[in-house]
Structure 1
Amino acid sequence: MTSLEDLTRLVPPPASPPPTDWNAVEALLGTRLPDDYKQLADTYGPGAFCDFVRLYHPHGPTEWVDLTGPMPARLRGQLETDRAGGTYPMPHAPEDLFAVGVTDNGNHLFWITTPLEEPDAWRVTVNQADGHAWYTYDGNLTSFLASLLSGHVHPPVFPDGLLGNGAFFTPSRPVDESTPPAPHPTGTTSREVIRERARSHGYDVPDRGRIPGHVIQAWEQAQ
């Protein structure tokens, strides 16, 4: 039984996920992607496992979870800055990491893209939200999810109660661009929450003053 079969038996996928033109996606990214990921993305579509692990997907409804959007490059740049400044120790070279997911706690999932020309050999690593700790899984993304959601592995950077409500998948709702954006949140607490969550997703946000409009928009769409 394959890892995808294990996963779909454990977590039934939605009925009609959107199709993806993988040739176009790989041409846009300039690299081949692991076959297991493409099969996984075609089976489930964009969404979240246990309302916690959100994989990046070419049809991600916002730039925060779009595989072809700015987040993978933005996060790699932040890691390079951290390494150059000695901010956090990291077990992998930033140039070898490609972000492929995020959790609601601000952890990021990365492919370790070595060897670059053999994407089916890429392993998975996850960082702690503040960057201090890392967990590396010796296998592909689908195998990691199947092991995680079956309870066979539990990264120490993930919360203990992850499987408290069982294993399930929630598809993303498409963003309705005809709907006017929600009013910008006001109040110190709301803005501090936005700043904290934005930084955990790789945005550069000032400690004080105006929060950039694209950051607020991304927050509103995510909500």
Structure 2
Amino acid sequence: MLRISDLERAVRGLSVHRASAPRGVNFKEISALLGVNLPSDFRELADGYPTFEIDGFLRIPLPNPGRERDFVGGIFRELEVLRDLEEAEMTEGYVVHPDPGGLIPWSESLSGDVFYWRVSSMNPDDWPVVVNSRSHEWWEFSGGAVAFLVGLVDGSIERKGLPANVLGSDPKVRVYVT
């Protein structure tokens, strides 16, 4: 599993925004509300950064300390949308968390692509990333959220259904401070 330092190497402008100390996100509260622990690479990312955007294409919403309920509320809103897609048989057989093997959203593009984890085991570090592209292609990546982000930036993963002309070799970073 790749770590935050790998993402910082791929997105050179990111590290200047890293918090000097862990941000103090209450992951126990998030886990209690969701009913599962989040993957360690995502927790590391959230402890180092607020929500940020890469190259005006990819937004990574991260929880803010003291506003963990708001973060989980956003996940639940996305799950409602996914449930509607599931009921309309538009999820290629994927199901919604908390159903066994259900999807949990963790990121999105500004073009309508959504990125999920599939809760495939008790160990969240084993969860694959599931992509639902705006062109309705569904596919999985087994390397975790940070590895997925690195692969999108450095071009090492296939972008099935995702635009090919985004996330250049020196992507710009926009940080959302609340």
TM-score (norm 2): 0.79
Unaligned runs of 5+ in 2: none
1:5 aligns with 2:9: no
SS of the residue aligned with 1:51? Answer: coil
CA distance, structure 2, for counterparts of residue 3 and residue 159 of structure 1: 25
Match of 1:153 among 135, 153, 157: 157
Deviation, 1:5, is 2.0
Worse overlay, 74-83 or 143-152: 74-83
Q: What SS does the corresponding residue of 1:102 show, helix, strand or coil? A: strand
Q: Deviations over 1:61-96 (max 9, x none)?
A: xxxx9344232322331232222xxxx351533341
1:98 touches 1:110 (CA, 8 Å); kept in 2? Answer: yes
Asked if 1:114 is matched to 2:120, the reply is yes
Is residue 97 from structure 1 mapped to residue 99 from structure 2 by the alignment?
no
Q: Which residue of 1 aligns with 2:167?
A: 163
8 Å Cα contact 1:29/1:68 also seen in 2 = no
Structure 1 unaligned runs (5+)? Answer: 175-223
1:75 corresponds, among 81, 98, 117, to 81
Larger radius of gyration: 1
Matched, 1:57 2:100: no
Once residues 43 and 15 of structure 1 are traced to their aligned partners in structure 2, the CA distance between those partners, rounded to angstroms, is 5
For residue 123 of structure 1, what is the aligned residue in structure 2? 128
Tell me how far 1:57 sits from its aligned partner. 2.0
> Greater relative contact order (Cα 8 A, min sep 6): structure 1 or 2?
2
* Correspondences of 1:8-23 after superposition (within 5 Å): 8-11=8-11, 12-13=14-15, 14-16=17-19, 18-23=23-28
| RMSD of aligned Cα (Å) | 2.6
Alpha-carbon contact 2:103-2:118 (below 8 Å) kept? yes
CA gap 1:165/1:80 in 2 versus in 1, 3 angstroms: same
Per-residue displacement from partner, 1:16-65 (whole Å, max 9, x unpaired)? 384311112212222111111100122222111222111232239xxxx9
Length-normalised TM-score, structure 1: 0.65
Aligned residues: 165
2:31 to 19, 26, 35: 26
